[in-house]
Amino acid sequence: MNHTIKIINNSNNPNPEYETKGSSGMDVRAYLGEPVEIEPFGRVLVKTGLFIEMEETLECQVRPRSGLALKKGITVLNSPGTIDADYRGEIGVILMNLSDDKVVIHSGDRIAQLVFAKVEKVRLEDVTVVNATDRGDKGFGSTGIK
């Protein structure tokens, strides 16, 4: 099912869009008054000039761009970031520089991608025990992955 997302674009950048028919994410661009420098292992909140409204059954995930990660060492710090359906503020992206070199972000640079996903609401039920499984309470790496 296709959903319609309402958008206000206060930037001078085009609206995010799917670059190819098979794309899962829409590239989002920085909207800056002046370039932002990210020091090695530093982080910064980059504004986009975008505001969205979506159905309560959706969330918008903010994910890193693989090319930016590989070429410059830039990632989305709280990846994936979540934009809740009731958030109406400007979309900001927390970028982190994992490289040893300073990286400069310019207005219009593609900095992340937006992926829309269905959200399932659950009801928590208080109990005193949960059903046993073969794995039980074994933690990380307990499924045979080395």
101 occurs within a structural domain: yes
**Residue 141 predicted with pLDDT over 80:** no
Supply the pLDDT for residue 2.
84
**Domain membership of residue 40 as a residue range:** 25-118
107 occurs within a structural domain: yes
41 occurs within a structural domain: yes
4 occurs within a structural domain: no
126 occurs within a structural domain: no
pLDDT tens for each residue of 66-100: 999 999 999 999 999 999 999 999 999 999 999 99
The total number of structural domains in the chain stands at: 1
| Residue 76, token pair as written in the block | 């989305």
**Residue 146 predicted with pLDDT over 60:** no
CATH of the domain at 104: 2.70.40.10
78 occurs within a structural domain: yes
pLDDT tens for each residue of 24-51: 999 999 999 999 999 999 999 999 999 9
Q: What's the whole-number mean pLDDT along residues 126-131?
A: 95
Q: What is the rounded distance in angstroms from the CA atom of residue 110 to the CA atom of residue 119?
A: 26
34 occurs within a structural domain: yes
User: 80: cis peptide before it, omega within 30°?
Assistant: yes
pLDDT bucket at 136, cuts 50 / 70 / 90: confident
Q: Please state, for a pLDDT cut of 90, what percent of the chain lies above it.
A: 88
Q: What is the rounded distance in angstroms from the CA atom of residue 9 to the CA atom of residue 11?
A: 5
14 occurs within a structural domain: no
